[in-house]
């Protein structure tokens, strides 16, 4: 009996030990298991277009097939290249070595803003330049700088179309706000916003004005929205990282002196505030957070018609800008056998009012001609529809474009370098330099030259 | 009794071991070659060939053959920290595993048969949840708001998961995961090794007045030394390739465990997130060399292949 156990153990272990270059073998775990094929509608003679979407985009598939009942499209579900999984990066890297298979996707939905520029630039270079496939008049109608900021490579190629806007606004629960602050105006600066938090710390502990407990909280909500230059591509392969800028220190000093961090700026994730979304008096967050964070209409969420969007606080330097968190992209493969049809499908997804409407799409369309119809149908979900509508449109065009798409996730760097320190009670301002150094290291790893007045950041040591 | 019968027959077999040539000629030897051949084919296809391919990739540069990929990867800021992380992890894990596995196996070995079977099963159970499953269970255990061990975490002033998995804790966190995944299996193996010690030897020691402790330290441990070395060789190789746990914890915490925490993760990151297979191969070859060196050292110093 025991010898049998031993033998079995031997076999399992020795094989494992022998595959010492497991870097190549073991690594398919992350990539291989995520894909699942959904219903294919392969009629027609020519090969179908293959479209990869995430589960949240399944209504798009239905709407597309309703509008184009004879379309020859094969829909494949994947995780949308969810933060940190890098499915597209790993598949593309493999296919670039082995040749692109016939079942490689022609069109992909991607939930990561960083991906398009990385996948469209060397060494990948795998995305179609849409400049010659999508009319200029269409490309010019996306909100503000969104196409420039997320879809344009340093060499000037347009490698994606924006799906929905994820610009940040100040989400306010007016019922709670009135209860605690009476008729005081909604804060319009970071100083007054944080002062409200300080008042809550003392008078109503447990109620929050946001969170510092996610990898994306401090960098997206606070640093990006204050034009802090820690992720600013200033030319091909060149990035500016300046943690000493007053745009960075201004907001972090305000955060520290308010005493809100760990109290009314919760250490918990904004998605799991103790006591639920009804404890959030207000929070800076992306447009889509209005329903996602507050679980509007759900049993534990706020009732329909509660949340109102106000403009995010003005940056400490006075600029009317905001940050951005999420929002999807449509990518087209350069290796598609049918590039024109693939680009046409991507354009339909990103711009058609049959897709970009409430009930199909969960966020404000980046394509401006679709916005009016979209926001006017939101009145059942949010309170004060005219204010919310105006705020959304304004925010979508005010995202600061100095937080550039790069082939690394600034959120993940914050999470691994600084998050534990901040939730552990250390001052936020003390995290600027370590964060900048870690970002600079990532930049150098990806082949960027770092420009910074700070010598350690610029040289890496 | 079945046990003693088994032991006696095992001893007989061992005594007969020197006369293998006396077995019915031909058939068994052919079968032996056949089974070894299957293994050799698999070893070449899945072990040696990928290693050769990795070495070729690592050495091929734009200007022909060279070591530039090794130099480049060595200069990456993640390179040395990744190896430091893994060294710290292996130090904590191997030390605690060796001590506890040997200790628990010795203790179980002194128990009555039925009781010891129950204990071995209990020790083995956590090993059923290997790799990704254990990572997910431990993720729950390490979350102060949901863990059954919340009182310990709160005692350490950890309020949220990001406190528990702060960078300086990670080697311990992964060592705890690896310990509970692997220790049970090794206890079963050590127990088997202890069972192979002839009863006469133990009895003789007891008659000479050896206490239980002395028997354990002077008789039993030296006789299972090779198994301990064997455990170290395999565990070191497995530990140096740590990948699944930090990778899953990294995804689950939205990146709080960096994607380049362990050398194996760094290789994966370089190949599949940076499309740089040559650099990834260089890191893999580094790992291979370290694994081989440590294995050779342990086999040689532990006299693993010596026949008494």
Query: What would the DSSP string read from start to end of A404-421?
Result: ---SS-HHHHHHHHTHHH
* A5 has a pLDDT exceeding 60: no
A137 pLDDT above the threshold of 60: yes
Give CA–CA dist B247/B127, Å, rounded: 19
pLDDT at B25: 54
Tokens of A57: 């985009």
Give the residue from A160, A149, A215 showing the smallest Cα distance to A410.
Answer: A215
- Cβ-defined contact of B238 to A13 (cutoff 8 Å): yes
Q: Who wins on pLDDT, A179 or A23? A: A179
pLDDT for the residue numbered B308: 61
Question: Residue A442: closest CA among chain B residues belongs to which residue?
Answer: B77
Are B47 and A20 within 8 A, CB to CB? Answer: yes
> Is the pLDDT score of A89 beyond 60?
yes
Average pLDDT, integer, range A16-35: 35
**What fold does the segment set A168-323+400-459 form as a domain?**
D-Maltodextrin-Binding Protein; domain 2 (3.40.190)
Q: So what's the pLDDT on residue B114?
A: 81
Mean pLDDT, residues A366-383: 86
pLDDT at A297: 81
Q: Which residue has the higher pLDDT, B125 or A220?
A: A220
Question: What confidence tier does A149 reach under pLDDT thresholds 50, 70, 90?
Answer: confident
Task: Give per-residue pLDDT as tens, A59-85.
Answer: 999 999 999 999 999 999 999 988 767
Question: What pLDDT, on a 0 to 100 scale, did the predictor assign at position A90?
Answer: 93
Q: Is the peptide bond before A123 cis (omega within 30 degrees of 0)?
A: yes
The confidence band for B23, taking pLDDT boundaries of 50, 70 and 90, is low
* Better-scored residue on pLDDT, B18 or B292: B292
pLDDT at site A84: 65
Averaged pLDDT for residues A114-121: 88
Q: Calculate the average pLDDT of chain B.
A: 86
Cβ atoms A264, A198 nearer than 8 A: yes
| Shortest distance, CA A239 to any CA of chain B (angstroms) | 18
> Which of the residue ranges A119-133, A289-303, A428-442 would you say has the lowest mean pLDDT?
A289-303
SS (H, E, C) A126-168: CECCHHHCCCHHHHCCECCCHHHHHHECCCCCECCEECECCEE
Nearest to A93 among B76, B192, B272 (CB): B272
> What number is the average pLDDT over the span A217-243?
94
Nearest-by-CA chain A residue for B286: A21
Interacting residues of B129 by C-beta distance below 8 A, sequence separation 6+: B137, B181
- CA dist B274 and B69 (Å) reads 14
With CB atoms and an 8 Å threshold, state whether B54 touches A24: yes
pLDDT of A212 higher than 60: yes
Question: CA torsion angle for A427, A432, A438, A444 (degrees, to 10)?
Answer: 180
Which residue blocks in A293-418 are alpha helix, DSSP H? Answer: 339-351, 371-376, 385-396, 410-417
Selecting from A13, A23, A268 the residue whose C-beta is nearest the C-beta of B271 gives A23
Chain A residue with the nearest C-alpha to that of B78: A441
Taking contacts as CB-CB distances below 8 angstroms, the residues of chain B near A20 are: 47, 51, 237, 241, 284, 287-288, 291-292
Q: Which residues of A248-258 are buried (b: 16+ CB within 10 A; e: fewer)?
A: bbbbbebbbeb
Enumerate the residues of chain A whose CB falls inside 8 A of the CB of residue B272: 27, 30-31, 86, 89-90, 93-94
Q: Name the band, by pLDDT with cuts 50, 70 and 90, for residue B26.
A: low
Task: With both helix axes pointing from N to C terminus, report the angle between B277-301 and B225-240 in degrees, rounded to the nearest 10.
Answer: 170
User: Per mean pLDDT, which of A30-44, A50-64, A396-410 is the most reliable?
Assistant: A50-64
Structure tokens at B148: 């059954």
Whole-Å CA distances, A263 to A206, A226, A319, B1, B193: 8, 22, 28, 69, 57
Tell me the domain boundaries of chain A: 23-162+328-362, 168-323+400-459
Closest CA in chain A for residue B165: A420
Q: Is B94 on the interface with A (CB under 8 A)?
A: no
Q: Which tokens is A375 given?
A: 């926001």
Interface touch A446/B274, C-beta < 8 Å:
yes
Q: Which residues of B touch A121 (CB under 8 A)?
A: none
Tell me what pLDDT residue A74 has: 96
For the domain B79-301, what is the CATH superfamily, name and number?
A: MetI-like (1.10.3720.10)
Contact B274 A407 (CB under 8 A): yes
Q: How far is B208 from chain A (nearest CA, A)?
A: 30
Task: Give yes or no for a contact between A265 and A212, defined as CB atoms under 8 angstroms apart.
Answer: yes
Could you tell me the end-to-end alpha-carbon distance of chain A, in angstroms, rounded to an integer?
Answer: 58
Q: Do the chains contact at B234 and A14, CB–CB below 8 Å? A: yes
Interface touch B284/A419, C-beta < 8 Å? no
Asked if A29's CB is within 8 angstroms of B244's CB, the reply is: yes
Report chain A's mean pLDDT, rounded to a whole number. Answer: 87
- Token pair of B195 as six digits: 């069972």
Instruction: Sort out which chain A residues have CB atoms less than 8 A from B257's CB and list them.
Output: 416
B46-73 pLDDT, tens digit each: 999 999 999 999 999 888 899 999 998 9
Q: Which of B76, B160, B258 sits opposite A268 (nearest CB)?
A: B160
Once rounded to an integer, what is the mean pLDDT over residues A434-438?
95
Contact (CB<8Å) A97/B256: no
Q: What are phi and psi of B6, to 5 degrees?
A: -60, -45
- Which residue from B166, B191, B280 is facing A424, i.e. has the nearest CB? B166
Q: Looking at beta carbons, which residues of chain B come within 8 Å of A24?
A: 50, 53-54, 271, 280-281, 284
- B191, with CB counted inside 10 A (0-12, 13-18, 19+), is buried
pLDDT at A311: 97
CA distances (Å), origin B291, targets B47, B85, B236, B297: 14, 16, 7, 10
CA angle, B231 then B236 then B238, to 5°: 95
Which of B191, B254, B257 has the CB atom closest to A214's CB atom?
Answer: B254
Q: How far apart are CA A161 and CA A366, in angstroms?
A: 9
Higher pLDDT, A166 or A335: A335
Name the token pair of A425.
Answer: 């009670």
Q: Is B250 on the interface with A (CB under 8 A)?
A: yes
The secondary element (H helix, E strand) that includes residue A424 is none
Q: Closest Cα to residue B212, out of B77, B74, B110?
A: B110
Q: Which pLDDT value is given to residue A16?
A: 35
* Structure confidence at residue A326 (pLDDT): 80
Across residues A284-295, what is the average pLDDT? 88
C-beta separation of A310 from A18 below 8 A: no
Are A366 and A162 spatial neighbours (Cβ–Cβ below 8 Å)?
A: yes
User: Which DSSP state fits B47?
Assistant: I
**A453: pLDDT confidence band, cut at 50, 70 and 90?**
very high
Nearest by Cα to A260 from A195, A216, A323, A214: A195
- Rounded Cα gap, residues A38 and A26, in angstroms: 26
Size of interface A-B (CB pairs under 8 A): 178
**Residue A417 near residue A423, CB atoms below 8 Å:** no
* CB < 8 Å to A123, chain B: 274-276
Query: How far is C-alpha A343 from the chain's CA centre?
Result: 23
Q: How confident is the model at residue A32 (pLDDT cuts 50, 70, 90)?
A: very low
The residue with tokens 């370098």 is A417
pLDDT at B189: 92
Record: contact A123-B275, CB cut-off 8 A: yes
- Three-point CA angle A263, A269, A272, nearest 5°: 100
The tokens of B118 are what? 């129950």
- Cβ pair A419:B256 closer than 8 A: yes
**H or E segment at A108?**
strand A107-110
- Which range of A190-199, A293-302, B15-24 scores highest in mean pLDDT? It is A190-199
Q: Which CATH class is domain A23-162+328-362?
A: alpha beta
Q: How confident is the model at residue A128 (pLDDT cuts 50, 70, 90)?
A: very high
Interface of B with A in 179-208 (CB under 8 A): 185, 188-189, 191-192, 195
Of B159, B241, B277, the CB nearest to A97: B277
C-alpha to C-alpha distance for B273 and A408, rounded to whole angstroms: 9
Closest approach of chain B CAs to the CA of A360, in angstroms? 27
Partner-chain contact A445 B77, CB within 8 Å: yes
Pairing mode of beta strands B64-65, A36-40 = unpaired
Tokens encoding B250: 């990294």
C-alpha B8/C-alpha B175 separation (Å) is 40
Neighbours of B151 (CB within 10 A): 9
Instruction: Please tell me the distance from the alpha carbon of residue A123 to that of residue B92, in angstroms, as a whole number.
Output: 39
Decide if pLDDT at A146 tops 70.
Answer: yes
Q: With b meaning 16 or more CB within 10 Å and e meaning fewer, what string describes A83-116?
A: bbbbbbbbbbbbebeeebeeebbbbbbbbbbbbb
* Mean pLDDT, range A354-374, rounded to an integer: 88
Interface contact B256-A215, CB threshold 8 A = yes
Pick from A277-291, B122-136, B154-168, B279-293: least confident: B122-136
Question: Position of tokens 């091909």?
Answer: A236
The answer to whether B258 faces chain A, any CB pair under 8 Å, is yes
Question: How far, in whole angstroms, is CA A136 from its chain's centroid?
Answer: 26
Q: How far apart are the first and last CA of chain B?
A: 29
With contacts defined as CB-CB under 8 Å, which chain B residues touch A415? 162, 253-256
Flag whether pLDDT at B138 surpasses 70: yes
- Which pLDDT belongs to residue B81? 93
Predicted confidence at residue A70, as pLDDT, reads 93
Q: Is pLDDT at B210 greater than 50 in this prediction? A: yes
Domain A23-162+328-362 and domain A168-323+400-459, same fold? Reply is yes
Distance CA A428, CA A419 (A): 10
Q: Do A22 and B264 touch (CB under 8 A)?
A: yes
* ipTM of the modeled complex: 0.72
With bands split at pLDDT 50, 70 and 90, how would you rate the model's confidence at A380? confident
Task: Give the CB-side neighbour count of residue B160, counting CA atoms within 13 A.
Answer: 23
Report how far residue B102's alpha carbon sits from residue B220's, in angstroms, rounded to the nearest whole number.
10
- Listed in sequence order, the residues at least 6 apart from A218 whose beta carbon sits closer than 8 Å to its beta carbon are A212, A414, A418, A422, A428, A431
The answer to whether B175 faces chain A, any CB pair under 8 Å, is no
């Amino acid at each position: 009996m025991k010898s049998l156990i031993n033998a079995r153990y031997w076999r399992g272990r020795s094989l494992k030990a022998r595959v010492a270059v497991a870097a190549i073998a073991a690594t398919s775990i992350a990539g291989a298991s995520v894909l699942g094929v959904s219903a294919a509608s392969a009629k027609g003679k020519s090969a179908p277009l293959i479209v990869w979407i995430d589960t949240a985009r399944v209504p798009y598939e239905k709407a597309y097939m309703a509008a184009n009942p004879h379309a020859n499209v094969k829909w494949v579900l994947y995780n949308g290249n969810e933060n940190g999984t890098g499915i597209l990066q790993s598949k593309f890297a493999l296919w670039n070595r082995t040749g692109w298979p016939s079942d490689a996707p022609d069109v992909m939905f991607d939930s990561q803003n960083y991906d398009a520029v990385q996948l469209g630039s060397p060494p990948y270079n795998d995305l179609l330049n849409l400049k010659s496939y999508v009319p200029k008049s269409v490309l010019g109608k996306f909100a503000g700088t969104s196409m420039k900021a997320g879809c344009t490579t340093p060499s000037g190629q347009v490698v994606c179309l924006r799906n929905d806007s994820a610009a940040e606004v100040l989400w306010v629960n007016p019922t709670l706000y009135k209860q605690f602050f009476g008729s005081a105006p909604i804060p319009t600066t970071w100083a007054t916003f944080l002062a409200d938090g300080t008042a809550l710390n003392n008078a109503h502990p447990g109620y929050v004005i946001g969170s510092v407990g996610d990898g994306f909280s401090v960098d997206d909500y606070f640093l990006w929205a204050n034009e802090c230059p820690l992720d600013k591509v200033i030319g091909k392969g060149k990035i500016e990282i300046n943690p000493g800028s007053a745009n960075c220190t201004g907001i972090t000093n305000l955060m520290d002196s308010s005493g809100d961090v760990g109290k009314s700026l919760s250490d918990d994730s904004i998605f799991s505030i103790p006591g639920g979304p009804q404890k959030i008096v207000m929070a800076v967050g992306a447009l889509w957070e209005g329903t996602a964070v507050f679980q509007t209409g759900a049993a534990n969420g706020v009732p329909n018609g509660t949340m109102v969007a106000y403009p995010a606080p003005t940056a400490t330097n006075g600029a009317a800008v905001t940050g951005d968190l999420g929002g999807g992209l449509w990518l087209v493969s350069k290796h598609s056998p049918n590039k024109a049809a693939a680009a046409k499908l991507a354009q339909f997804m990103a711009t058609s009012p049959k897709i970009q409407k409430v009930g199909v799409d969960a966020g404000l369309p980046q394509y401006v001609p679709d916005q009016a119809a979209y926001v006017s149908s939101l009145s059942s979900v949010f309170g004060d529809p005219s204010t919310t509508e105006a705020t959304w449109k304004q925010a979508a065009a005010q995202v600061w474009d100095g937080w550039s798409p790069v082939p690394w996730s600034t959120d993940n760097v914050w999470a691994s370098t600084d998050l534990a320190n901040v939730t552990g009670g250390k001052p936020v301002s003390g995290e600027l330099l370590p964060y900048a150094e870690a970002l600079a290291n990532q930049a150098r790893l990806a082949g960027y030259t770092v420009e910074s007045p700070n010598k350690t950041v610029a040289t890496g040591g | 009794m079945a046990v003693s019968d088994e032991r006696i027959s095992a001893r007989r077999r061992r005594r007969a071991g020197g006369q293998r040539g006396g077995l019915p000629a031909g058939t068994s030897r052919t079968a032996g070659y056949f089974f070894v051949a299957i293994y050799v084919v698999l070893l070449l296809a899945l072990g040696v060939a990928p290693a050769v391919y990795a070495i070729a990739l690592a050495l091929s540069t734009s200007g022909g053959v060279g070591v530039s990929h090794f130099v480049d990867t060595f200069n990456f800021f993640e390179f040395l920290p990744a190896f430091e992380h893994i060294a710290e992890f292996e130090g904590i894990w191997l030390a605690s595993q060796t001590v506890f596995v040997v200790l628990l196996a010795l203790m179980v070995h002194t128990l009555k048969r039925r009781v010891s079977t129950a204990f071995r099963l209990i020790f083995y159970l956590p090993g059923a949840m290997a790799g990704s499953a254990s990572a997910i269970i431990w993720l729950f255990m390490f979350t102060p708001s949901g863990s059954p061990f919340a009182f310990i975490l709160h005692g350490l002033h950890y309020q949220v998961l990001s406190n528990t998995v702060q960078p300086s804790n990670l080697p311990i966190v992964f060592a705890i995961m690896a310990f509970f995944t692997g220790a049970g299996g090794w206890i079963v193996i050590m127990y088997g090794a202890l069972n192979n010690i002839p009863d006469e030897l133990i009895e003789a020691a007891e008659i000479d007045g050896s206490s239980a402790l002395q028997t354990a330290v002077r008789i039993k441990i030296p006789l299972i030394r090779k198994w301990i070395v064997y455990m170290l060789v395999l565990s070191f190789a497995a530990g140096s390739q740590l990948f699944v746990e930090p990778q899953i914890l990294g995804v689950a915490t939205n990146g709080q465990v960096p994607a380049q925490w362990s050398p194996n993760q760094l290789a994966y990151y370089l190949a599949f997130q940076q499309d740089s297979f040559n650099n990834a191969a260089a890191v893999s070859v580094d790992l291979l060399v370290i694994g081989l060196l440590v294995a050779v050292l342990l086999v040689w110093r532990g006299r693993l292949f010596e026949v008494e």
